[in-house]
Structure 1
Amino acid sequence: MLTERRPIGRHFIARSGKHPNYSAMQEEEAEILALKALSYLAGLDEMMDRFADLSGMGPNDIMERAEDTEMLAGVLDFFLFDEALLTAFCEAHEINPEHPAQARMALPGGDLPHWT
């Protein structure tokens, strides 16, 4: 947990010297957050259908693969590409909006470089 931040220009650097937005999340924590996102998505018929269409899986297939970390990574990708959905999910579960991106980095394929 970050205990002290000191301003440097426009950015805040934690005492550890790492940017606070890039704190590592453990894979188990990431899976739990992704499962919450999947549960939230399952309650939104239209969005679940959209995810199913984009993933090429049926809703039943998605739920059967709920413990597959690659599928959970896809769920988080889906949320990260839809700001309104991401915001609604984070507000509904009182989750810091940065945590889904951190969770995505902890799952398969999340170590890819960010170009933005």
Structure 2
Amino acid sequence: MPTTRESAETLALQCLGWLLANDDLLPVFMGATGAGQDDLRRGASDPAFLGAVLDFVMMNDNWVIEFCAFAGVANDAPMRARHALPGGEQEHWT
């Protein structure tokens, strides 16, 4: 079943919440993206920013596994959600 944009945004918001509660990982995210507190607040309503949150978490398999366990979703859910958000379209070269 394809992931809808609405469900993708919901999962990405959950991921952002998980990230905000993670005292070890949040500074890494903020340092890597240059995001400040205001950016995090504004980004919660920006599908492109939410896609960037998923991109960040998907950089590390352990982060994906931890988030998915927290959210109670399959480990491929962040990837499927990412494809439904701006900038996440897959290129088909065939």
Bigger mean CA offset, 88-97 vs 57-66: 57-66
* Identical residues among aligned pairs (%): 34
The runs of at least 4 aligned residues of structure 1 exceeding 4 Å deviation read none
| Cα distance in 2 for residues equivalent to 1:39 and 1:100 | 14
Pairing partner for 1:95 from 70, 73, 80: 73
1:56 equivalent in alignment to 2:10: no
Structure 1, unaligned runs of 5 or more: 1-22
State the TM-score, normalized to the length of structure 2.
Answer: 0.90
Structure in which a larger fraction of residues adopt strand: 1
- What is the identity, as a one-letter code, of the residue corresponding to 1:63? R
Higher Cα Rg: structure 1 or 2? Answer: 1
What do residues 81-116 of structure 1 show as CA deviations (whole Å, max 9, x unaligned)? Answer: 11111101111221111111000000001113279x
Q: Which residue of 2 aligns with 1:41?
A: 19
RMSD of aligned residue pairs (Cα, Å): 1.6
| Cα distance in 1 for residues equivalent to 2:41 and 2:60 | 21
SS of the residue 2:88 aligns to: coil
SS of the residue 2:79 aligns to: helix
Structure 2, unaligned runs of 5 or more: none
State the TM-score, normalized to the length of structure 1.
Answer: 0.74
